[in-house]
Structure 1
Amino acid sequence: MEVSSELCSKGCTPWQRLLLTASLLTCWLLPTTAQVTIESLPLKVVEGENVLLRVDNLPENLLGFAWYRGIKNLKQGISLYSLAYGTNVQGPTHSGRETLYSNGSLWIQNVTKEDTGYYTFRTISRRGEIISNTSLQLHVYSSLYICGGPYKPRQLTIESVPPHVAEGGSVLLLVHNLPPYLRSIFWYKGVIVFNKVEIVRFRRAKTSSELGPAHSGREIVYRNGSMLLQNVTWKDTGFYTLRTLNRYGSVELAHVYLQVDTSLSSCCDPLKSAPLTINPVPPHAAEGESVLLHVHSLPKHLQTFSWYKGVCSTQAFKIAEYNIATKSIIRGRAHRGRETGYTNGSLLLQNVTEEDMGLYTLVVIDSNFKIETAHVQVNVNKLATQPVLRVTHTTVRVQSSVVFSCFSDITGISIRWLFNNQRLQLTERMTLSPSKCQLRIHTVTREDAGDYQCEAFNPISSKTSLPVSLAVVTE
């Protein structure tokens, strides 16, 4: 009777109390049978993902079955299913994210680290006897793992679109690889984060913006983190910083340098020299390749120039310094032995890795001791490898559910889905996990039958998995 009251602590009808009392009035310490098995799909699940605890070899002639948290003290009921009535009874540990199916399987959505632990599945005969207790340990991984393989989130970056904008024009500071589970987005003018230079903050839950002291009335922030700057002037030239805050308190920063080309404006002096600029060649490189940071419009009467890793031009980040008079190159503390400087100011990065990603700064000094500074973003990616696609069942019934999981063994990869060699069009019956490596069809129809594939891609390469065929039956 105690177990019945625990499971019904959130409210049951009289017949549900009678059902639970009859079903659970027996000894808890019965031997576990090997007939019933439980499998976690996927085997490794990440915070924010979904997991299916699939039950196989379900006994016949059952009155019902139930899921519990734990392995010994089975008073923490999640959900009980009555086969006689085809209904669910939610237990005290039901979080609102669990769905119990008629085949015994338990679907848990948007898992958290708190979901880690043992889960026990119990079957009950028509005579109210416990047939089996089967337990499984579920481990919820942090964002270091994703869909069964190591995962390192792509670095938060910002792209200026277009790269150079004329006075009076508009520029979009386009954000890439925005972190998941965001709570707030902040934009600042400059590289230092403090209140006086805050442009705007955007709260995603409320879809609302709060203007900061540095807001000029020309900035618009979008839900994806990007910021549109309208009617730019030469005073807008410089660094902009994006700060993100997620619901777990994690903070990320990214910088972008905005170059306003006054030489492109009709009002400007045509005799004025073009600004110092840098182009990465190629814009996106594969690991192991070389990237040339090609400098344009170097001053004529150049005295020295220096390259730095990052946005700070200090000795700790100096890669190399070149003196025109002595024609000598002095290596800095940040030199890794793979950089080559040229007299035209350009810098060659050889055999690049993902650690070479980020902003680079060039500082030039002419014979009149005039200082010019330019910045460039370097992007490095791994070549995509063929992902592996798995599915909970290759044959499913109409109105049931099915889960596809895409496994990739490299970092910094994105996932998209294909159906019968075409881009999958998501419907209201389908959901993707936050990382998009897991696809669930909640209510299968005949139209869902066909070949499914997942494509792993990044800016330089893509690979598609072998197809997995899904058959849909009506019986």
Structure 2
Amino acid sequence: MDRPRRTHGWKVYWKMLLLAASVLSSCFLLTRAQETTGISIRVVPELLKEGESVTLTPEGLNLKIITNCKWYRGAVEERNIIIFIRVFRFYVRHQEDGPAHPGRETGKRDCSLNITDLKPNDSGTYSFKIEDPGVTNTGATNITVSEILSNPVLQLTESLAAENTIVSLHCNTSDRLDVSILWFKDGNPVPPKTGLSDRNRTLMLTGITKEDEGNYTCQAVNPVSNAISNPSRITMAYSSDGSSSSSSGSAGALAGTVIGSLAVILVLVGTLTYVFFRVCRRNDKTSTQVVSTPQIYENVLPTGQVHPENSFSAANTYETLQPRIPSVYEEIKR
């Protein structure tokens, strides 16, 4: 009687063990299925224009079990959180704004993100993450918001150029990467010989000829708009005899250089000649001036003075004229 009861107990035990294993296996498979990364995000509309709206929706989610999700501006980091969404039975129960929330984003019950009044600076990477126990679903997408382009500006409205010279035109417009520049001459694409630089924003015409005369314009184009600039007129410069001003200009420049050099030489020669004659005249004056030293006698007073003694006899004449040289004095005295 005891053996059948024991057999029945073992059967019940094995059934319960198999049921538990089945449940654990199902839970493991469900958890592995929710750990997938790189989920796709649908962007609607695909072409984003400044001032419009966009919705970013993660695809392939099991919305029955999702209760928490987050959106990030850039990488999945706390400082990049835009919004934190709590979902309960297909409606948004709570939305919390993050540090990167500029005030134009809202979450929906399917964990999608809606951005209104788009601006070009909204372009970039947006990341998504589910935050539920045992679930680590993430995804990311890039969006580009194109601006409504204004008319570019060509600063030189008219240019007078000589033959074989260089003329440059710059198209002043948006510097965003999604903007392309096209150039036209009299409404037709510019010839292939022209040089383009700075992402086609600068047009350089080298060695221009009569064929390069005309009206030039640039056109800015992006995925949602386009705009054309004001025209810039290039005209060849000619002299009165019909020849190019480049040759006459070079001849005139050469003549001016020669005349200027001659004028400098003449000024230098005149200056040196003037200095030479001034020096010669000064030397002549110095050589003709002879300084004579008058002989001074002891008994002869300077002009205008009277000798205190009024004796002028012949006997003392020799005494009157007494030179300061003793030998002369002795000779006269004899």
1:360 paired with 2:126, answer yes
Q: Match of 1:402?
A: 167
CA distance in 2, matches of 1:464, 1:392: 14
Matches within 5 A, 1:381-400: 381-391=146-156, 394-400=159-165
Q: Match of 1:277?
A: 40
- Give the SS at the match of 2:99: coil
1:423-472 deviation line (CA, Å, top 9, x unaligned): 32431xx3233243322211012322232111123332221113333334
Q: Match of 1:24?
A: none
Cα 1:424–1:298 change in 2 (3 A) is farther
Q: Displacement, 1:414?
A: 4.2
Contact 1:382–1:411 (8 Å) recurs in 2 = no
CA distance in 1, matches of 2:141, 2:100: 17
Contact 1:392–1:402 (8 Å) recurs in 2 = no
Cα 1:338–1:402 change in 2 (3 A) is same
1:18-37 deviation line (CA, Å, top 9, x unaligned): xxxxxxxxxxxxxxxxxxxx
Q: Match of 2:9?
A: none
Q: Displacement, 1:343?
A: 0.9
Q: Match of 1:156?
A: none
CA distance in 2, matches of 1:359, 1:380: 12
1:144-167 deviation line (CA, Å, top 9, x unaligned): xxxxxxxxxxxxxxxxxxxxxxxx
Residue 276 of structure 1 aligns to which amino acid in structure 2? I
Alignment equivalent of 1:458, drawn from 207, 210, 222: 222
Matched-pair identity in % = 27
Matches within 5 A, 1:282-361: 282-300=45-63, 301-312=65-76, 314-325=77-88, 327-361=93-127
Contact 2:158–2:233 (8 Å) recurs in 1 = no
Matches within 5 A, 1:254-269: none
CA distance in 2, matches of 1:372, 1:324: 16
Contact 1:308–1:334 (8 Å) recurs in 2 = yes
Contact 2:157–2:232 (8 Å) recurs in 1 = no
Cα 1:277–1:386 change in 2 (3 A) is same
- Give the SS at the match of 1:394: strand
CA distance in 2, matches of 1:303, 1:334: 22
1:469 paired with 2:233, answer yes
CA distance in 1, matches of 2:74, 2:62: 22
Q: Match of 2:137?
A: 372
Cα 1:448–1:343 change in 2 (3 A) is same
Flag structure 1 segments of 5+ consecutive residues without an equivalent. 1-272
CA distance in 2, matches of 1:297, 1:419: 53
Q: Displacement, 1:419?
A: 2.1
CA distance in 2, matches of 1:425, 1:296: 49
Contact 1:306–1:363 (8 Å) recurs in 2 = yes
CA distance in 1, matches of 2:218, 2:202: 10
Q: Displacement, 1:321?
A: 1.7
Contact 1:391–1:403 (8 Å) recurs in 2 = no
Alignment equivalent of 2:184, drawn from 418, 434, 438: 418
Flag structure 2 segments of 5+ consecutive residues without an equivalent. 1-35, 245-334
Contact 1:274–1:297 (8 Å) recurs in 2 = no
1:246-301 deviation line (CA, Å, top 9, x unaligned): xxxxxxxxxxxxxxxxxxxxxxxxxxx99731132333433322222133222243
Residue 334 of structure 1 aligns to which amino acid in structure 2? A
Cα 1:392–1:274 change in 2 (3 A) is closer
Structure showing greater relative contact order (alpha-carbon pairs closer than 8 Å, 6 or more residues apart): 2
**Larger % of strand: which?**
1
TM-score (norm 1): 0.38
CA distance in 2, matches of 1:373, 1:423: 48
Contact 2:157–2:231 (8 Å) recurs in 1 = no
Contact 1:287–1:380 (8 Å) recurs in 2 = yes
Q: Displacement, 1:328?
A: 2.0
1:390-423 deviation line (CA, Å, top 9, x unaligned): 3485343432322222223x45254331123233
CA distance in 1, matches of 2:165, 2:109: 67
Q: Match of 2:270?
A: none
RMSD (CA atoms): 2.8
Matches within 5 A, 1:162-241: none
Q: Displacement, 1:339?
A: 0.6
Cα 1:463–1:448 change in 2 (3 A) is same
CA distance in 1, matches of 2:216, 2:126: 42
- Give the SS at the match of 2:79: helix
1:448 paired with 2:212, answer yes
CA distance in 2, matches of 1:379, 1:283: 9
Residue 107 of structure 2 aligns to which amino acid in structure 1? G
Contact 1:393–1:402 (8 Å) recurs in 2 = no
Residue 136 of structure 2 aligns to which amino acid in structure 1? I
- Give the SS at the match of 2:150: coil
1:109-158 deviation line (CA, Å, top 9, x unaligned): xxxxxxxxxxxxxxxxxxxxxxxxxxxxxxxxxxxxxxxxxxxxxxxxxx
CA distance in 1, matches of 2:147, 2:223: 10
- Give the SS at the match of 2:182: strand
CA distance in 1, matches of 2:216, 2:122: 36
